[in-house]
Structure 1
Amino acid sequence: MILILLTIGYPHPKRDVFVGNEIDFLCRAFDRVFILPVQAGKVLPKKLKNGDKYKPHQKVKVWDVEYTIKDILFVSPKLIVLAAKEALKAIFQKNTVRYKMLYLWMIFRWVFLTNITLKNLSRLFEKEGIDPNDTVLYSYWFHFLALSVALFKKPVLLKISRAHRSDLYTELFPQPCKEFIINHIDKVFACSKMGADYINKKYNTNKAAISYLGTFNDYKVNLNKKRSKPFKIVSCARVVPVKRVEKIVDSLEKIEGYEILWTHIGDGELFESLKEYAQKKLSKKENITYNFMGFLPNSKILDLYAKEDFNLFVNTSSSEGLPVSIMEAMSFGIPVVATDVGGVREIVKDGSNGYLLEKDFTEDELSSLIEKFIQMQEGEYQRFCIEARKTWEERFNAKKTYEEFVSEIVRLAQSKKGAELKNGE
C-alpha cells in the first residue's frame, strides 16, 4: 500500500516537528510514503523548496508544492458551492460580528489553500503513477488539508485525519466545512479523549477515535533523584499569546527564600518581549535565575532533559489539545504543574504525577505549587517522579501509541479493501 501524508510544513525545519515521531512506523507499514507539505501563507501556500533533502526515511519522497496563476484562478466548482454554503452559515449564525468576519476570512483562505492542495495531489498521482485503489490519504491536521482529502475525487482506499486543538474546537476558532469533511472521510483520530468525544457528539457521528500522540525516550532515567539547589524548573512552548509564558515570570516574582533556576525552551512572536519582561520583573531577585534557550530541535530537547535533571515542568497555556511537551517531560520522570484545559487532565493526574491549575489561575496559586514541590519530603517527591514516568510508559510511549495507530490504519484499509472486493464479486 501507498501512503500520502499532508502536513503544514514537515519535514521542513521547525514545521510540524512531532510528525517525525511516527514516520518510521508509517514506513514499516507502507511500501511507499509521500509527504505533501502545505504551509499556509496569508492566502496562498508558501512555496517550500527542496523538501526531499529533509526526507526523514529512505522510503519517503517529499513533494514540493507548486502552483500557477491558473491554479489560483480556476477553482473547483464543488469547492465554490461548498464555500458559498459555509459563508451563508457564517452570516446567519448567532455569533459576534468579529467571529463572523473571522469565519468568512477563513473560508476565503481555505478556498485557495484547498484548491492548490487538490491540484498538487492530482499532479502527484499522475507523475508518480500512483494507484488510488491502493492508497491511503492522511491529513495530519483537521482543517483545509482534511478538506482537501475529503474533496479529492480519485477513489482512494482510505481517507483519514488527525485532530488536535486549534483545528477542532469552535469555541477557539471558526471551524468551516467540518460536517462535510466528516461525511467524506473514513476516520478522524483525535489526540485526546476529550477531542474524540467532542467530534462525535457535536457532529452526531461515530467516526472519531482517540489516538494519543507519543514521544520516544531511550535515555537512562533516574527516578531516585533528589531535588537540586537551585530548584530547576523547565517550560517548553512557543512564545505566543495562548501559551501565556509571562505568567511563569509573574509567579516566580512572588517567590522568596528559595533558589530557583528557570529554563524556557521555545521561540515565537513574543520571544523578545518575554525576555524584556523577565528582565524587568526578575533582574533584582537574587534567588531567581533564568535561561531562554529559544528554538531547539526535538533531539536537543531530550538531550537537555537527560543532562539537566529538571525538578518540575510548568505549562500555563489558556488552551491545549494534549501537549507533547508534557509527555516528553514525564518520560524523564519530571512532575508537572499545568492548566486544566483541553485534554491536559488525561495526562496530568492531580496529586499523583503533578498538579492542575484552573485556566484563570493567579500568580499566587502557581507560585504556591512551585513552593510545595520545593518543600515536600524526598519520598513524596520521588513518588511524583515515579508516577510521571509510569504515566508515560503506560499511555504515551511512542513505540506503543504509534504502533497501535498505524495498525489501526492498516486494519481499516484492509477491511475496506476486502469489503470492496466482496461487493465487486
Structure 2
Amino acid sequence: MPKNLIVITKLFPYNFTEAFLESETPFLQEKFKNIIFMPLLKGSIRPNFSSLSVDDSYNILYAKKARMFIRTLLSFNLYKSLFFHRRTLFKKKMLIACIKQQIHVQIIKRIIKNNPSNFTEDTIVYSYWFNAPVYAFLKIRKKYRMKYRVVCRAHRWDVYDENGDMPYRRYCIEHIDKIFPISQDACDFLTKKYGYKDKYILSRLGVQKQNVTTKESPPFNFQVLTVSQLIQRKRVDLVLSALTEFASKNKDVNVRWTHFGTGDMEKDLKMKASSIDIPNMRTTFMGYVPNVEIMQFMEESKVDVFINLSTSEGVPVSIMEAQSYGIPVIATNVGGTGEIIDKDNGILLSPCPTLENVVSALEKVYKSDFNRDIIKNHWNKLSNAQINFKHFVDILSNIQ
C-alpha cells in the first residue's frame, strides 16, 4: 500500500476554490502517512488548513512562465507535439494548449529533479483535475522509468473537451493508473470516445449532512433560490424570464427570487430585473458571499425550489447542497445532473429547455407537495460526503 500522496490542485489549500477537497482531505489523512499538496497557483491559506504540508515549488516555477517558455522552445518534445496535433493545431486553442502542456513537463522535470525522494514507488500522484500536469507526470515517469503511480479525478471541462484544447488525451488515458470521473455520464463519455473502460472508476463527490430540513413557504408564497456565476453558460437570464412569466400568470402568488453569485452578466441582469414592474415579484441579488452564508440562508429561510439551468455541468455542488436540506430542484439534464434528480426530488428538463418548459416546471413545483425527507434520503444515497469520500480514499490507497 502506498504511503505517500502528492495532491496536485489548482489552488487548494489556498483561497476558496476546490471546496470538495475540504471534506475529502480528512479521509486522505487517515490512509496516507505523508501528504503534500502542490497547488498550481498561490493565494491565502484558508482557515483550518494551515497545518497541511504545502509545496509551493510548482506555483513558483509556474509563475516564471517566460523562463519556462524559453526552455520549452528548446525542447524537441514541443515540436513533436505540434506535429502530432497538426490537423487540429489551429482549431480553437490547441496550439496554446500544446505549448502549455510542454511547459508543465519542464516544470515537473525540475520538481522531481530537486526532490526525487518524493517520487518513489511508495508515492501516488493524485491530480484533482484531468489536465496538463497529468500528462507531464506520465511523460516524466515513462522517460526516466520511475515507479510512482498517477491518478486523477475528471469533472466537466476536463472530460467533455468543450474548448478542443486537450493534447495527448489518448496517451494519458492509456498510461495513467486510474481515472476517477465524478459522474456515470463522464465515465460513459470517456469510454465511448477513447475506450480503456477498465481505467475509469466512478467516484462521486458529496456534501456534508445537514441536520435541518428547509421549510416550504406558506400558501400563496413561492421562494426560489439560485446559486451560480452570472455567466452565459448558467442561463440565469432564462430563470429571470421564466419567473417573470410565472409571476404574471399567478398574480395571487408572492414570488421571491434570491440569487447568490456574481459574473459578467450581473449588471445587465440587475438592470433587466429592476425594469420589471410586477407587484407580486421581488428579486434579490446577494452577490458573492462565503459558502457558509449560503448554507445559513437555506437553513434559516423558507425555500420552495432550487433552479439550475446550465448548458454544461459535472455534478453541481449547489444542487447537492440544496438536496441535503430537502429542497426540490429544477435542472437541465446536462453532464451528471440527471443522475441525482428524479421525479421524487425535482424536475429534470431537457438540455435546452424553452421558456415555456421552465414556466411549466415552476407551475408543477408550486402545485406539488414534495416529501422533503425523501429528498434527503436520495441525497444520502448519492451525494453524502462521508460515504463517497471514504469509498474513494479506500480505492485510492489500495492502487498497486
Same fold flag (TM > 0.5)? yes
Q: 1:176-222: CA deviations, max 9, x gaps?
A: 21111112210010010011122122212020121001001243336
**Aligned counterpart, 1:84:** 82
**Aligned counterpart, 2:60:** 66
**Aligned counterpart, 1:28:** 30
The 8 Å contact of residues 92 and 164 in structure 2, kept in 1 or not, is answered as no
Shift of 1:10: 1.9
Q: Secondary structure of 1:88's partner? A: coil
**Aligned counterpart, 2:392:** 405
Q: 1:40-66: CA deviations, max 9, x gaps?
A: xxxxxxxx25x5576726343252511
Structure 2 residue 353 is matched with structure 1 residue 365: no
The 8 Å contact of residues 11 and 54 in structure 1, kept in 2 or not, is answered as no
Shift of 1:122: 4.6
Greater displacement, 24-33 / 297-306: 297-306
Query: How many angstroms apart in 2 are the aligned matches of 1:120 and 1:52?
Result: 22
**Aligned counterpart, 1:11:** 13
| Counterparts in 2 of 1:158 and 1:355: CA distance versus 1, 3 Å | same
**Aligned counterpart, 1:348:** 341
Query: How many angstroms apart in 2 are the aligned matches of 1:236 and 1:116?
Result: 36
**Aligned counterpart, 1:234:** 225
Query: How many angstroms apart in 1 are the aligned matches of 2:307 and 2:113?
Result: 45
Shift of 1:82: 5.0
The root-mean-square deviation of aligned C-alpha atoms, in Å, is 2.4
**Aligned counterpart, 1:275:** 270
Match for residue 99 of structure 2 among 108, 111, 123: 108
Structure 2 residue 389 is matched with structure 1 residue 391: no
% identity of equivalent residues: 27
Query: How many angstroms apart in 2 are the aligned matches of 1:162 and 1:200?
Result: 15
Q: Structure 1, unaligned stretches of length 5 or more?
A: 40-47, 92-96, 417-425
Structure 2 residue 143 is matched with structure 1 residue 143: no
Structure 2 residue 203 is matched with structure 1 residue 201: no
Q: Secondary structure of 2:158's partner? A: coil
Higher relative contact order (CA 8 A, sep 6+): 2
Q: 1:6-54: CA deviations, max 9, x gaps?
A: 1112222232233222111112211222111114xxxxxxxx25x5576
Could you tell me which amino acid in structure 1 is paired with residue 370 of structure 2? Answer: Q
Q: 1:274-323: CA deviations, max 9, x gaps?
A: 2223223x3x1111112212223232222221111311110010111111
| Counterparts in 2 of 1:24 and 1:356: CA distance versus 1, 3 Å | same
Query: How many angstroms apart in 1 are the aligned matches of 2:80 and 2:103?
Result: 13
Query: How many angstroms apart in 1 are the aligned matches of 2:152 and 2:77?
Result: 19
Give runs of ≥4 in structure 1 deviating > 6 Å. none
| Counterparts in 2 of 1:79 and 1:261: CA distance versus 1, 3 Å | farther
| Counterparts in 2 of 1:118 and 1:369: CA distance versus 1, 3 Å | farther
| Counterparts in 2 of 1:261 and 1:122: CA distance versus 1, 3 Å | farther
Mapping of residues 256-335 of structure 1, within 5 Å: 256=248, 257=251, 258-280=253-275, 282=276, 284-335=277-328
The 8 Å contact of residues 223 and 304 in structure 2, kept in 1 or not, is answered as yes
Shift of 1:106: 2.5
After TM superposition, the score normalised by the length of structure 1 is: 0.83
| Counterparts in 2 of 1:55 and 1:182: CA distance versus 1, 3 Å | farther
Q: 1:384-420: CA deviations, max 9, x gaps?
A: x2332111111110000000000000111xxx2xxxx
Shift of 1:79: 4.0
